[in-house]
Amino acid sequence: MLKIDLTGAAEFFDGAGLDCAAAAEAHRVLASRTGAGGAFTGWLDLPARMENGELNRILAAAQNIQRQGEVLLVVGIGGSYLGARAAIELLRTPSHNELPGATAVYFLGNTLSPDAVNELIAVLGDRDFCVNVISKSGGTLEPALGFRVAKALLQQKYGRNGAKKRIYVTTDANKGILHDIAVSEGYERFTVPDDVGGRFSVLSAVGLLPMAVAGIDVEAVLSAAARELMDLDLRSPENPAWQYAAARQHLYRRGKSIELLACYEPSFRYMAEWWKQLFGESEGKNGIGIYPASLEYNADLHSMGQYIQDGPRTLMETVVRFERPAGSCKVPFVMGDPDGLNYLAGRELFEIQQIAADAVKTAHISGGVPNIVLSVPQRDEAGFAALVCFFEMSCAISAYMSGVNPFDQPGVEEYKKNMFRQLQAL
Amino acid sequence: MLKIDLTGAAEFFDGAGLDCAAAAEAHRVLASRTGAGGAFTGWLDLPARMENGELNRILAAAQNIQRQGEVLLVVGIGGSYLGARAAIELLRTPSHNELPGATAVYFLGNTLSPDAVNELIAVLGDRDFCVNVISKSGGTLEPALGFRVAKALLQQKYGRNGAKKRIYVTTDANKGILHDIAVSEGYERFTVPDDVGGRFSVLSAVGLLPMAVAGIDVEAVLSAAARELMDLDLRSPENPAWQYAAARQHLYRRGKSIELLACYEPSFRYMAEWWKQLFGESEGKNGIGIYPASLEYNADLHSMGQYIQDGPRTLMETVVRFERPAGSCKVPFVMGDPDGLNYLAGRELFEIQQIAADAVKTAHISGGVPNIVLSVPQRDEAGFAALVCFFEMSCAISAYMSGVNPFDQPGVEEYKKNMFRQLQAL
């Protein structure tokens, strides 16, 4: 369902052209699950597994949480919150928590800022709330401390037993600190699968429970994702995941070391954050990897536009476009035409957005920035599923093409070791 | 008041060392106002000019707006909104609009997304509101269309005459589309100074009016900024602006082509966006310039941490630290110590944040990423002023050191030309 348009990048490809054969080979390694990190390829059939597994319990828990209060506090960091936050902002709105109707979802456990924690407590006010703590092991410091804070708030408000009914845990099925706490306290539990790394986990309970609480149709997400993964697997040379992976690697090897992921919808912001983790953490190792950066258009055309047009020619640009808006917004007519824009009066803003996007594309290409366009029909469950599956698949393929293990993150341990050493010396 | 610590970068400096003499020379060119773009150096004495100029009218208008309703809609793009948004998020909180008490401030005119506009209208609801439209010329498409939408909403709610009393215009003092509209309609007007470019304009009415409406003490900001500019001007070889500019240029010439601006406070997010425009638009031209990227710690340590630690060694990292938090947040004690973290119980979260920050610094340096620390005492008006003045000064110096005009943005015109050609063909 996702379409890729490489015409704006093609003039930057040299004679060798795209190495789609290498992408296909990387895909075969991925599908065989025998490549580096092959034990973490469970996301390849996660949608079908969820439909036959935890889905109904997730839906029931989401209904419970909605009945229990106005707010869900999600405690998690990295892959344990970015996917859900991305989905909620894209499919609802970044202002989700300010609109009446659906349960508000706030995120905790991803900061050590006392001010940020205190501000969140002020925003929570005296509203009824539940907590969903998400951590594979329970040993990560930020969410562990966030959970301590959230639990203390719950116990203060509802007592020890009342709090227990409001804590939902997403963690390892069989082991780990958080698993053990959940079992001994009797919290309702959901699973972080063993064969799915954090940044590939949005279609497990990790992402689905907060999404369902926010009012997203997660059944529609899963069924669209299952179809999408099948499509991506069967299409041959035109497989868009191969094309994207091959184009990125081709351009990277020719000096395009920064990829700008841009979108004209402000609601895409956390999708871009999710994408940065996915690609940055999968590819950035052994001294190589494209730097993943993101931009929000049109806003950032008026901040980073100058650099993109005239700075070092080390950029490639990938633009996500939605083919249809959710609603209508027409340019108002103004008597006397003081700003000279009445020639646009009555036009759909979306039509003008499309023209702006085409103009930007032309300008950036002429400035020496290869342009890739990814398009999906709409900002809806199917569009979200298509983007997630496409990016996960193309990321794994691209990482294999560059010779690294897409599924490990050895570099993340370095600061943790230093930190725990210092903390334990307190 | 801002302190710079280059010890984490020094081991990456080669024998030549920092060229502080070149920074000093660039500073002299800047101060003489005779360098490239010298006509746009009015920000060098903007705080004092504002104190003796529009300040009292800004304060009075802010009080009026607060009396007139619960919401201010700011219509602007690029330098016409980033500074105010940065200040409001940093000095109030990113959740400012969700907290009772102060007037909410929303931003329009920086998007062509109909969904984003419709969502903002839904969030606005039936609350009373005013509009502050900010544009030097009035000819920029996004805010011009945003102003049409905002004005139509006002007129629908308050009638033509009622709307007039709720529109505040910040624009050129003497000319331009928006100036002419404001004069003919009798809107209250504030000035975008002729000698201050958009990205340097936060301490003019452009930034100060929305900040004052949100409850920020803009008098304190201006007096701190005046002191800061004087300090930055008089200090000699230890001038932190020289050191930052010289360190950036030294590292850039040795292959560090991406600068990561990181902060441990989520409220810093839009300060980083403001910084990206400031440096990206000032330095990114003629095929050169450091790519300005930003990260929110601790969250992004769990998404981009792997890349920073192990990806290509083309990164330098600048970390903004606040020496004191606004309030206290202690780690709760948990009976039985199920997560093994009771050794931290009773400790201030801020203390743990500082240890984490030190651990990250050590890890990143050992991974080959030069580290610069900028610190200010607090997330308050004086801290904001110090950051703004320091970054503006060091940016202009750094751009002069690299041989470009810090104050133009010729590349931004390219897409606009394409766009208007297409639009007029509609």
Q: What is the pLDDT of residues A307-327, one digit of tens each?
A: 999 999 999 999 999 999 999
Interface test with A, best of B73, B80, B82, B115 (most A CBs within 10 A): B115
Chain B: nearest CA to A237, how far in angstroms?
30
Q: Nearest CB to A266: which of B113, B138, B364?
A: B113
**N-terminal to C-terminal alpha carbon distance within chain A:** 54
pLDDT for position A426: 83
Unique residue bearing structure tokens 């710079």: B4
**Using a CB-CB distance cutoff of 8 angstroms, which residues of chain A are in contact with residue B122?**
95, 99
For chain A, how long is the longest CA-to-CA vector? 72
Query: Going by DSSP bridges, is the β-strand pair B104-108/B71-75 parallel, antiparallel, or unpaired?
Result: parallel
CB contact under 8 A, A344 and B257: no
Query: Going by DSSP bridges, is the β-strand pair A315-322/A258-263 parallel, antiparallel, or unpaired?
Result: parallel
CB contact under 8 A, A95 and B364: no
Interface of A with B in 111-170 (CB under 8 A): 111-120, 122-123, 138-142, 144-145, 147-149, 151-152
What H or E segment, with its residue span, contains residue B49? helix B46-51
Mean pLDDT for A399-423 is 94
pLDDT for position B258: 98
Chain B: nearest CA to A265, how far in angstroms?
6
**What does each of the 426 residues of chain B score in pLDDT, given as a tens digit?**
899 999 999 999 998 889 999 999 999 999 999 999 999 999 999 999 999 999 999 999 999 999 999 999 999 999 999 999 999 999 999 999 999 888 999 999 999 999 999 999 999 999 999 999 999 999 999 999 999 999 999 999 999 999 999 999 999 999 999 999 999 999 999 999 999 999 999 999 999 999 999 999 999 999 999 999 999 987 766 899 999 999 999 999 999 999 999 999 999 999 999 999 999 999 999 999 999 999 999 999 999 999 999 999 999 999 999 999 999 999 999 999 999 999 999 999 999 999 999 999 999 999 999 999 999 999 999 999 999 999 999 999 999 999 999 999 999 988 999 999 999 988
Q: Which of B302, B413, B414, B417 is catalytic?
A: B302
CB contact under 8 A, B424 and A343: yes
Burial of B359 (0-12, 13-18, 19+ CB in 10 A): buried
pLDDT for position A92: 96
Task: Please state the φ and ψ torsions of residue B39, each to the nearest 5 degrees.
Answer: -70, -10
Cα separation, B164 vs B237, whole angstroms? 53
Judge whether A23 and A4 are in contact, CB under 8 Å: no
DSSP codes, A15-55: TT---HHHHHHHHHHHHHT-STTGGG-GGGGHHHHHHTTTH
Distances (CA, A) of A337 to A333, A342, B146, B181: 8, 6, 15, 10
Cβ within 8 Å of residue B43, ≥6 positions away? B196, B200, B201, B203, B392
Q: pLDDT band for position A16 (50/70/90)?
A: confident
Query: Do you find a cis peptide bond into B118, omega within 30 degrees of 0?
Result: no
Judge whether B89 and B270 are in contact, CB under 8 Å: yes
Q: Which residue of A has its CA nearest to B296?
A: A111
Chain A: nearest CA to B296, how far in angstroms?
9
CB contact under 8 A, A113 and B325: yes
Cα separation, B322 vs B162, whole angstroms? 44
Confidence check: pLDDT of A131 > 90: yes
Dihedral angle sign, alpha carbons of residues A196, A289, B373, B12:
positive
**Using a CB-CB distance cutoff of 8 angstroms, which residues of chain B are in contact with residue A341?**
141, 144-145, 148
Mean pLDDT for A391-414 is 96
Q: pLDDT band for position A221 (50/70/90)?
A: very high
Active site residues of A: 281, 302, 416
pLDDT for position B348: 98
Chain B: nearest CA to A78, how far in angstroms?
5
Long-range contacts of B233-240 (CB under 8 A, 24+ apart): B233/B31, B236/B24, B237/B20, B237/B24, B239/B23, B239/B24, B239/B27, B240/B2, B240/B3, B240/B4, B240/B374, B240/B390, B240/B394
**What predicted TM-score, i.e. pTM, was given to this entire model?**
0.98
For A386, the token pair is 């298509």
